[in-house]
Amino acid sequence: MTINVQAPLINRQITSVLRAWGMPDDLVAQTVDVMVETDLWGVDSHGISMLMTYEQKINAGRFHMTERPRIVRETPVMAVIDAGAGLGHPASVLGMKTAIEKAATVGLAVVTVVNSHHFGAAGYYARMASDRGMIGLVASSARNIAVVPTRAAEPMLGTNPLAFAAPAGRNPAFLLDMATSTVAAGKIKVYGYQNKPLPEGWVVGPDGKSLRDGNEAYAVLRRGTTTGLTPIGGTPELSSHKGYGLGMMVHILGGVLSGAAFAPLRKGKEKPGEPENIGHFFLAIDPKAFRPDGEFEMDMDAIIDVLHATPASDPSRPVLVAGDPEIASRAERLRTGIPIPSALQQELRDLCSRVGVPYVLAGA
């Protein structure tokens, strides 16, 4: 049975686990804020459900939970941050914060992060920029080899997320947060938790046919077989080459520019305990460097208003702009709680038992 848990309890549960793993309290607070906000947005694949995956990486010696990210190179318009093989959330908070601070002085700035791990939802960091009145662009390489390039018979790319945020005035910020695959791998896991059939075209087997069982599809994706996710577009006839190209662009920004690894080149060569070396990219642009103060936001409001006013093909489903679903989900989940399916409840109970912390979601 699915239970709904209020955000403060989710915060408390994640905090206790991260502390048990030895993460310093200030880094815990940054990480928990990203994860809880992600769950509030309805991105269930990147919030509390990631804890079990993180445990596997810790047990394999890949995560260094006590390490602090540090700036290793910088100029007035850029910086490079070494994440110390720790969780990607604190390094990414530092990355976008640094980009914002530099952009406030010089108009725009880029920060890359190297030697990192999973960083949660890319949109969180893009939103950091729009909350400060700036445009934010975020890209990240990935450890998983899950996406089948157009015309290929096996996966070669990660889901390589891309996020973009732009501030408005009266309206909430425009916030695009997407994988460059048709769907993120974590969403396959969530469908498995919920025992929901996968939509056609999300995951394809070696014969090119769709897999519909979420648990089965997630299991074979994790084994790294010839089964994989499709790029955005799904098929060549529906322009999957565009999703393939976007995925490569994201890896170039997040991975190649930062000096992070390209997972297929490491396949079969990794040493036990070797960090995954994921890379991230953060760009902040101050609109005031290009236009008089307030004009950018005024135009954004006008554009968003026109889009919202566009006649809908189905009157019960109005036209939205990127960020609207997350805003609606956040309001609803702050009121009713974050849904935790029964399968996830059991995994979290078992995790808490293994790390020696109380399971606090019972009876929520």
What is the tens place of the pLDDT at every residue in 235-276?
788 898 999 999 999 999 999 999 999 989 987 777 888 899
Whether residue 176 is found in the same domain as residue 256: yes
Range of the domain at 49: 1-59+326-364
Q: Does residue 9 surpass a pLDDT of 80?
A: yes
Residues 6+ apart with CB under 8 A from 261: 141, 255, 276, 277, 278, 279
Mean pLDDT across 64-71: 96
**pLDDT of 73-128, one tens digit each?**
999 999 999 999 999 999 999 999 999 999 999 999 999 999 999 999 999 999 99
Check residue 237 and give its pLDDT: 83
Total domains, the chain: 2
**211 belongs to a structural domain:** no
Q: Does residue 51 surpass a pLDDT of 70?
A: yes
Which is higher by pLDDT, 345 or 223? 345
Mean pLDDT across 144-160: 89
Q: Does residue 364 surpass a pLDDT of 70?
A: no
Whether residue 14 is found in the same domain as residue 112: no
318 φ/ψ angles, rounded to the nearest 5 degrees: -65, 160
Mean pLDDT across 198-225: 80
**202 belongs to a structural domain:** no
Which is higher by pLDDT, 201 or 357? 357
Whether residue 175 is found in the same domain as residue 307: yes
Residues 6+ apart with CB under 8 A from 165: 123, 126, 127, 129, 130, 135, 136, 173, 174, 175, 176, 323
Check residue 205 and give its pLDDT: 76
What pTM did the predictor assign?
0.93
**High-pLDDT (> 70) share of the chain, %:** 99
Whether residue 128 is found in the same domain as residue 176: yes
Interhelix angle 342-355/185-193, nearest 10 degrees: 100
Whether residue 158 is found in the same domain as residue 39: no
**271 belongs to a structural domain:** yes
**284 belongs to a structural domain:** yes
And the tokens for 44? 């269930």
